[in-house]
Structure 1
Amino acid sequence: MKTTHRISVHAKPLVAAMAIAGLAAAMLSGCDNATANSAAAAPAAPPITAATVIERQVIETQEFSGRLEAVERVDIRARVGGFITQVHFKPGSMVKKGELLFEIDPRPFQAEASRAEAAANSATARAELAKLELDRAQRLLADKAIAQREFDEKASALKELDANVRAAQASLQAARLNIAYTKVQSPISGRVSKAEITTGNLVDPTAILTSVVSNNPIYATFDGDEATYLRVGRDAHKGAAVAVKVGLANETGFPHEGKLEFVDNRLDTATGSVRMRATFNNDDNTLVPGLFARVQLGGSAGGRSNAVLISDRAVGTDQNRKFVYVISAANKAEYRPVVLGPTIDGLRIVRSGVKPGEKIVVNGLQRVQPGAPVNAQMVAMDADRKAELKVAAVAAKGKE
């Protein structure tokens, strides 16, 4: 026997109302969860360091790659052949002009000098005798005791003997020079290389014994472009001072200051470059011939102009263009492409893209997104990395 359950007609509205209430509660709960998740997902403004774009009067510079060269370089050769008996220098040491470097066995040249001296004395004696005979012949000619022809012959003989004396004396002088050449001296002051030929070896004038390069002053040579030539070439040819600085591979910036000494008289049409050379004082021997050098070429003293300057740390690279993040009045990052110029005193010239007084991000570019809010701590545009970290540390400590 089946039992039939029936729902009262009056109960149906109540069930429907309960279902609708449950659905509404579920929807409200979902909205609350979404709001909570949205609040949790909202990122905090990233802490970054910013600085104000500055404007200064500058003398624009250009940078090139160059090499250091000695002002003087000499290959030391023997001027006479012989056996080397002594080497008087330490390889790589500093030597002065006239300092003894090598000695060659002088005995063969001393013997030759003795022979030449004897030949000169003999020629002198014969010339003196011929002069006495000419004086006697002149008196006899006055008394008409000899013929004019005999007198002329004696006069001619004396002239020949005088020439022989001069030739013998020249041979003696050459022999004495060869003795002096057995002492090989440095013709310049500078740093000497190693001895290419050592004691006991036979040398001739074709052999290179060593080399000496001067060290102070020193040249830095580089190739400038056409724009550089037009900018400083005229001043250099007139003798006007054009500032040049160099930095070595292990140095920061350009700590060595010099002056432009030479600008070539023409441009190479194949490369569009012109040879240039600057002179530097090298009292501390830091600059060594042959080293790579970063060359910064300035301009004449009257070439100052206003320039917008920023730190290189503020510049980002987006494929083939440069950009910075400008901080708006609402503390949001604005992506701004820039056109850059050369570096001057550690700051980069900006041709276009930013204006003096604008605030830009200088540290923390990787934490910034265009249009996103930022938490900027201000520093000086030319502040170094340590100063920026100190400011950031103080700011972080104040938030604790």
Structure 2
Amino acid sequence: MKREEVPYVVTVPGRAVAYEQVDIRPRVGGIVSEVVYTAGRPVKVGDLLFRIEDETYAAEVAADEAAVKSAEAQLSAKKAQVERYTRLEGTGVTRADVQTAEVEVAEAEATLGTARADLRLSRLNLERTEITSPIEGVPSVPNVSVGAVVTANQSDALTTVTRIDPIYVDVAESSARIGRVRASIDSGTLTMGEHLDLHLTLENGEAYDRVGEIVSPGVLVSTTTGTTDIRVRFPNPDRLIMPGQFLRVDAVLGTTEANLVPQGATSRTAEGLLTAFVARDGKAARVTLTTTGSYKNAWIVTDGIAVGDELIVDGLTNLLPGAEVTTVPVTISDDGVVSDALPATGEGASSPVAGPGAAGASATRSGR
């Protein structure tokens, strides 16, 4: 094995969450007269979704408009009376008469204000018979049909509009690992990059071709799980990611020096420990590995294997600790395929090493 500089990748599971999601409810009651939208077809802010029968609300607007005109006429008459009484004061009109007329003007002004407020409310209710989308997104199948009776602010939504481009992915990261990363940065073993690149693996195992970013770093640690919630955001123009999906987020934090151990050369114990076999003095020895993530087809190993160790990558079936082994140098492709190493020739030739899949680790084939 030999140490080399590799990306420091942290992998955490996550769940997709809608960027925005709104339950659509009526703000006035009545009978649904039309379902305007098509489920699954994107809508924009202000697009019409439902109509509620508006005859009653239109009649209320007309009545309130008439009330406003009547109040305006009453106010005009009261003001004219004050002007007339003011001119005639002392010639049959007393000061008390003038004051009474002034009070009637104030009352008429209040009546007009109330009428105008009622008109604004009735017009607002009339507008609310047309239910529009408050956000850009995709509406779900309607929960009501034409003829259904709805009430203002009812508990059941008429539909739900969801925006999924961009889309959030919520992950829960161990506070212990966050602490280890910070310690690695402080000690200089981890060199942070200029940008934090976030990559995504979909449910089907395919790599997502968009790069994400952190929008809400965690600031609290759960007392029950010991994790902190982090929210990341990814572009989702093709709507490949849907809310509720389980995904895997790979965060490239920077670079570090470590040994790379091919994943095919490792196994896990019943306790979940990651182990591998190395050849020591002609015998197989099992070692327990400490990793910080993965790179291509290899684990990034920080402890458990040392520079110069001969890692056994093939012939692992039924291999037990202490078994005698004869090692043969091999190479490993990017896809993890093991093949015999070519003989070293030429000046300065060195011992065979693994190919890119093992990122330069010395690897051997067990020949029991």
What TM-score results when the alignment is normalised by the length of structure 2? 0.78
In structure 2, the gaps of 5 or more residues are 186-193, 344-368
Higher relative contact order (Cα pairs below 8 Å, separated by 6+ residues)? 1
Match of 2:116 among 169, 179, 188: 169
What is the aligned partner in structure 1 of residue 36 from structure 2? 88
Matched residues in 2 for 1:157 and 1:203: separation?
A: 43
Matched residues in 2 for 1:297 and 1:325: separation?
A: 29
Bigger share in helix: 1
Match of 1:265 among 212, 219, 222: 219
CA RMSD of aligned residues (A): 3.0
The structure-2 alpha-carbon separation of the partners of 1:232 and 1:372, relative to structure 1 and needing over 3 Å to count, comes to closer
Bigger share in strand: 2
> Looking at CA atoms only, which structure, 1 or 2, has the larger radius of gyration?
1
Matched residues in 2 for 1:232 and 1:136: separation?
A: 87
- Contact kept, 8 Å, 1:75 with 1:212, in 2: the verdict is yes
Matched residues in 2 for 1:291 and 1:305: separation?
A: 32
What is the aligned partner in structure 1 of residue 235 from structure 2? 281
Matched residues in 1 for 2:91 and 2:196: separation?
A: 84
Matched residues in 1 for 2:269 and 2:245: separation?
A: 34
What is the aligned partner in structure 2 of residue 345 from structure 1? 295
- Contact kept, 8 Å, 1:368 with 1:374, in 2: the verdict is no
The answer as to 2:127 corresponding to 1:195 is no
Q: CA deviation at 1:79?
A: 0.8
The structure-2 alpha-carbon separation of the partners of 1:268 and 1:242, relative to structure 1 and needing over 3 Å to count, comes to same
- Contact kept, 8 Å, 1:54 with 1:310, in 2: the verdict is no
Matched residues in 2 for 1:255 and 1:54: separation?
A: 30
The answer as to 2:12 corresponding to 1:64 is yes
What is the aligned partner in structure 2 of residue 26 from structure 1? none
Q: How is 1:139-150 mapped onto 2 (pairs within 5 angstroms)? A: 139-141=87-89, 145-150=92-97
Q: How is 1:319-334 mapped onto 2 (pairs within 5 angstroms)? A: 319-320=270-271, 321-326=273-278, 334=284
Matched residues in 2 for 1:265 and 1:322: separation?
A: 31
Q: CA deviation at 1:170?
A: 1.1
Matched residues in 1 for 2:195 and 2:59: separation?
A: 58
Q: CA deviation at 1:99?
A: 0.9
The structure-2 alpha-carbon separation of the partners of 1:375 and 1:298, relative to structure 1 and needing over 3 Å to count, comes to closer
Q: CA deviation at 1:194?
A: 0.7
The answer as to 2:326 corresponding to 1:378 is no
Letter of the 1:88 counterpart: V
The answer as to 2:180 corresponding to 1:226 is no
The answer as to 2:165 corresponding to 1:216 is yes
The 3-state SS of whatever aligns with 2:158 is: strand
The answer as to 2:204 corresponding to 1:245 is no
The 3-state SS of whatever aligns with 1:94 is: coil
The 3-state SS of whatever aligns with 1:366 is: coil
- Contact kept, 8 Å, 1:338 with 1:350, in 2: the verdict is no
What is the aligned partner in structure 2 of residue 29 from structure 1? none
The 3-state SS of whatever aligns with 1:178 is: helix
- Contact kept, 8 Å, 1:54 with 1:357, in 2: the verdict is no
Q: % of aligned pairs identical?
A: 27
Matched residues in 2 for 1:231 and 1:129: separation?
A: 83
Q: CA deviation at 1:104?
A: 0.7
- Contact kept, 8 Å, 2:166 with 2:236, in 1: the verdict is yes
The structure-2 alpha-carbon separation of the partners of 1:232 and 1:306, relative to structure 1 and needing over 3 Å to count, comes to closer
Matched residues in 2 for 1:212 and 1:357: separation?
A: 59
Matched residues in 2 for 1:201 and 1:242: separation?
A: 51
Matched residues in 2 for 1:116 and 1:163: separation?
A: 15
The structure-2 alpha-carbon separation of the partners of 1:174 and 1:157, relative to structure 1 and needing over 3 Å to count, comes to same
Q: CA deviation at 1:357?
A: 5.9
Matched residues in 2 for 1:172 and 1:319: separation?
A: 74
- Contact kept, 8 Å, 1:65 with 1:295, in 2: the verdict is yes
- Contact kept, 8 Å, 2:29 with 2:151, in 1: the verdict is yes
**CA deviation vs aligned residue, 1:161-204 (integer Å, no higher than 9, x gap):** 11111111111111111111111111101121110011111111
Matched residues in 2 for 1:275 and 1:316: separation?
A: 30
Letter of the 1:279 counterpart: R
